Structure 1
């Protein structure tokens, strides 16, 4: 009997990928903290996760059959507008970016730990 890792791992695999992509966006913001006119960016994580959840919803034609659509979901990069721009038009706030980095890192670690536990459970099932 074959196992579908997409079904077994669920959203957690994509959540880890989204968190990695968000880290890149936040790093870009930090790199441009002194760039005149630069607008801070972020990923619309909740929207991307909702799209991934919709794709993982299972459509059953028969109780014994499960059908799943597997197409990658790319999170949308959006500009942050809730901040007051500096005199040069830059909207990156160092403290907010550092806090976002730390929060994203903690959430990435949590997703990674969860996936590790899923694979350990599979290993235990295989080895007994």
Structure 2
């Protein structure tokens, strides 16, 4: 018997994505003056596909599609052939700061939802009081 619903797993995966995105964006900002550094980004589609590989579903008929694809590829992509500065650097500070702000909003929404789920469990444990 599972103690928690699948919602916790989905929220956890979202928080992991947000953490990875924060790390990659911070690396880009830290290397803004590094010659020939190419900016990296986190691909949501790759991350989503990797998360689907961990998803288990009960197939009631052998003709139903399987949820696992077996592909295990990285979700961090290096931008190629992009030069923003004259020294070969490919980091756009305005874009990176925008990505940080969007990621912060995303993280706050997920953490608020996770907190709400735990508050609901706490209410159930207390008997609705």
TM range (shorter): 0.7 to 0.9
- Matched-pair contact (CA < 8 Å) for 1:37–1:90: yes
Following superposition, the deviation at residue 83 of structure 1 comes to 4.7
1:7 equivalent to 2:15? Answer no
Question: Which residue number corresponds to residue 33 of structure 1?
Answer: 32
Question: Which residue number corresponds to residue 64 of structure 1?
Answer: none
Following superposition, the deviation at residue 54 of structure 1 comes to 4.4
Structural mapping, 1:41-120, within 5 Å: 41-60=40-59, 76-81=75-80, 83-120=82-119
Following superposition, the deviation at residue 18 of structure 1 comes to 1.4
Q: TM-score, normalised by structure 2?
A: 0.77
> Which sections of structure 1, spanning at least 5 residues, go unmatched?
62-68
Cα deviation per residue 1:61-118 (whole Å; 9 max; x = unaligned)? 6xxxxxxx9xxx8852101348543211101000000000000111011111111111
Following superposition, the deviation at residue 60 of structure 1 comes to 4.9
| 3-state SS of 2:54 partner | helix
Following superposition, the deviation at residue 3 of structure 1 comes to 3.6
Question: Which residue number corresponds to residue 126 of structure 2?
Answer: 127
What is the alpha-carbon root mean square deviation over aligned residues? 2.7
Q: TM-score, normalised by structure 1?
A: 0.78
Question: Which residue number corresponds to residue 22 of structure 2?
Answer: 23
Q: Distance in 2 between matches of 1:84 and 1:100?
A: 19
Question: Which residue number corresponds to residue 66 of structure 1?
Answer: none
Aligned residues: 119
